[in-house]
A and B are shown apart, each in its own frame.
Chain A
Amino acid sequence: MAKVLVVTSGKGGVGKTTSTAALGAALASAGKNVVLIDFDVGLRNLDLVMGAERRVVYDLINVVQGDAKLAQALIRDKRVPTLSLLPASQTRDKDALSDEGVSRVIAELKEKFDWVICDSPAGIERGATLAMRHADVAIVVTNPEVSSVRDSDRIIGLLDSKTERAEKGERVEKHLLLTRFDAVRAGRGEMLNVEDVLEILSIPLLGIIPESSEVLRASNLGSPITLNNPASAAARAYFDAAKRLNGEALDMTIPSDRKGLFGKLFGRRAA
């Protein structure tokens, strides 16, 4: 049974696209059939993060409007064969997305894939509401800072009222993904700690992704962190989150890149 997953946050720049790519690649490497849809029409990024920007021919808008077939627009990943991408259009805007068109595309994708992952644009307008509309599961990406937490709270309210499931009286399964977390700074009180965020948002925690320079490096290389550097702390956190999505019960840990004493000395000398 295919599941539709929306990765959303309300606030921009918290790591929706990075998390979509990393989780999608992690799920696909575990053998699932995964498709990533970029809903950020007009400001598409997922193709860059996935390293597929030079292979885009047709996009989501073409499929929604019936100008192209789904099979023509899907881009299969070169590294993981079970991972596909449906890019957004950069030249159109979000008004070009129609409700019926999106429903049709998602229904079609659900027949072919195990996971349909929708990368939501920031904000609470049309693009974001369409991305969450058909979701069975939602991942709310939040940074440990007050503005991000408040925006996430707003999005959770919308997930409970504006989705197809909510309108049928069912619930969308919601998970919190805390990104860019720095345990040292949270300990010093410069950042919200995990308990604060969970207390405010009161939804279950899917994973804690530590702040890491590896994430930015992977994005710029056009490769999800879970493929580019699977041993890094952030990648291990994403792999754990993907396992939890598949129903595995794992202890919640915050992976770290911290080296031993020798590593530290060595690292410092090298730097």
Chain B
Amino acid sequence: MTTVATPRQSIRFHGRSYHAMVLSPEPPLADWLAGLDAWLARSPGFFFGRPVVLDLAVLQPGKQGVAELLQNLAERNIKVMGIEGAEPSWLDFAMPPLLLSGRQANSIPGDHPPAAAEASAPALSSDPAPDAAAAPTSAEAASLPAAAAPEAPPAQHPNSLLLDSPVRSGQCIVHPEGDVIVIGSVASGAEVIAGGSIHIYGTLRGRAVAGSRDSRARIFCRKLEAELLSIDGLYMVAEDMPAHLRGQPIQVWLEGDSMVMAQD
């Protein structure tokens, strides 16, 4: 993942991992594009500024098809940074490069391609099976490229998810790639799962599962009434929380193998 050039060389190379969305078109293409349009109508700007990788393993479009597909995506303002699962012969020099990072191109079935793609996003990383990150396992944090070389800090994921309405009972918000910010309360029976930290500007009555990719993640809320708090696989149920902190504005973080909770 991270290669460090020897100090005497004048040109230095770094390997660095980025998170990208993988779009995986499915045949028939017209239907898939219609689905994409419907998605974009609901969340315009969803792809704005996000690196997108195209996985052609399912579609198998051929040389002509690739050119048309790229044209179609360009019309929707989706910039493709790389292509996976394609034959080298389909691509010409002007097209985005073929990515062969040692991974099998994974196809993503499902009704909502972008959503599904988001859940299994990182395409440029050579981490083993980052797709499992949606589940908050403690192994995830270890797969970060941390501190292998002084020049390469852990990859930062600036894409946070901001929700400006309360999270209702029964709803589950999953955002494996960054922080979740909720302006409002999280109801009893609701669940927020984030790869990074969770910030709740309201009462937290449900569950908050933070740091499925980052043991430094924290949970903040204005008023603690939570059913369960978890960071990087460690968890605490309501019964274990200090009684004097209930109803208080708090933050929670990890120190070694224990969860620490303090009033803000």
- Cα A155 to Cα B146 in complex, Å, equals 44
Task: Among A124, A146, A153, A160, point to the contact of B165 (Cβ < 8 A).
Answer: A160
Interface string of B141-174 (1 = CB under 8 A from A): 0000000000000000000000001101111000
List of 6 A-B pairs having minimum Cβ-Cβ separation, nearest first? A157-B168, A153-B169, A154-B169, A154-B170, A153-B187, A153-B168
CB distance from B77 to the nearest CB of A (A): 20
Contact A150 B203 (CB under 8 A): no
- Cα A153 to Cα B42 in complex, Å, equals 24
Q: Is A263 an interface residue (CB 8 A)?
A: no
- Cα A124 to Cα B169 in complex, Å, equals 12
Q: Is A109 an interface residue (CB 8 A)?
A: no
Contact A153 B184 (CB under 8 A): no
**8 A Cβ contacts from A184-233 to B:** 199-200, 202
Q: Is A75 an interface residue (CB 8 A)?
A: no
CB distance from B28 to the nearest CB of A (A): 24
A-B contact count (CB 8 A): 37
Contact A154 B168 (CB under 8 A): yes
- Cα A86 to Cα B187 in complex, Å, equals 35
Contact B187 A169 (CB under 8 A): no
Interface string of A155-169 (1 = CB under 8 A from B): 011101000000001
Interface centre among B165, B169, B185, B188 (most CB of A within 10 A): B169
- Cα A158 to Cα B190 in complex, Å, equals 13
**Which A residue's beta carbon lies closest to that of B168?**
A157
- Cα A80 to Cα B171 in complex, Å, equals 42
Contact B205 A160 (CB under 8 A): no
CB distance from B172 to the nearest CB of A (A): 10
- Cα A158 to Cα B187 in complex, Å, equals 14
**Which B residue's beta carbon lies closest to that of A147?**
B188
Chief secondary structure at chain A's binding surface:
helix
Interface string of B182-206 (1 = CB under 8 A from A): 0011011110000000000001010
- Cα A200 to Cα B185 in complex, Å, equals 8
CB distance from A157 to the nearest CB of B (A): 3
Q: List 6 A-B contacts (CB under 8 A).
A: A153-B168, A153-B190, A154-B169, A154-B170, A157-B170, A169-B42
CB distance from A142 to the nearest CB of B (A): 12
- Known: A150-B189, A169-B42. Contact between A199 and B203, CB under 8 A? yes
Contact B205 A157 (CB under 8 A): no
**Which B residue's beta carbon lies closest to that of A152?**
B169
Task: Among B166, B171, B184, B188, point to the contact of A150 (Cβ < 8 A).
Answer: B188
**Which A residue's beta carbon lies closest to that of B171?**
A157
Task: Among A146, A156, A169, A199, point to the contact of B168 (Cβ < 8 A).
Answer: A156
Chief secondary structure at chain B's binding surface:
loop
- Cα A154 to Cα B168 in complex, Å, equals 6
CB distance from A170 to the nearest CB of B (A): 12
CB distance from A230 to the nearest CB of B (A): 36
**Which A residue's beta carbon lies closest to that of B166?**
A202
Interface centre among B165, B171, B185, B187 (most CB of A within 10 A): B187
Interface string of A134-157 (1 = CB under 8 A from B): 000000000000100011011011
What are the residues of chain A within 8 A of B203 when measuring CB–CB? Answer: 199-200
- Cα A156 to Cα B205 in complex, Å, equals 16
- Cα A160 to Cα B170 in complex, Å, equals 12
What are the residues of chain B within 8 A of A158 when measuring CB–CB? Answer: 170
- Cα A210 to Cα B168 in complex, Å, equals 27
Interface string of A110-127 (1 = CB under 8 A from B): 000000000000001000
Contact A154 B189 (CB under 8 A): yes
**Which A residue's beta carbon lies closest to that of B188?**
A150
A150-B187, A158-B170 given; 7 more Cβ-contact pairs under 8 Å:
A124-B170, A146-B188, A153-B168, A153-B170, A154-B189, A169-B42, A199-B203
What are the residues of chain B within 8 A of A160 when measuring CB–CB? Answer: 165, 168
- Cα A253 to Cα B170 in complex, Å, equals 32
Contact A202 B185 (CB under 8 A): yes
- Cα A151 to Cα B170 in complex, Å, equals 9
- Cα A66 to Cα B192 in complex, Å, equals 45
- Cα A19 to Cα B187 in complex, Å, equals 26
**8 A Cβ contacts from B207-243 to A:** none
**8 A Cβ contacts from A85-135 to B:** 124
- Cα A202 to Cα B42 in complex, Å, equals 24
Interface string of A220-254 (1 = CB under 8 A from B): 00000000000000000000000000000000000
Contact A202 B170 (CB under 8 A): no
Interface centre among B165, B166, B185 (most CB of A within 10 A): B166
- Cα A153 to Cα B188 in complex, Å, equals 9
What are the residues of chain B within 8 A of A202 when measuring CB–CB? Answer: 166, 184-185
Interface centre among B168, B170, B184, B189 (most CB of A within 10 A): B168
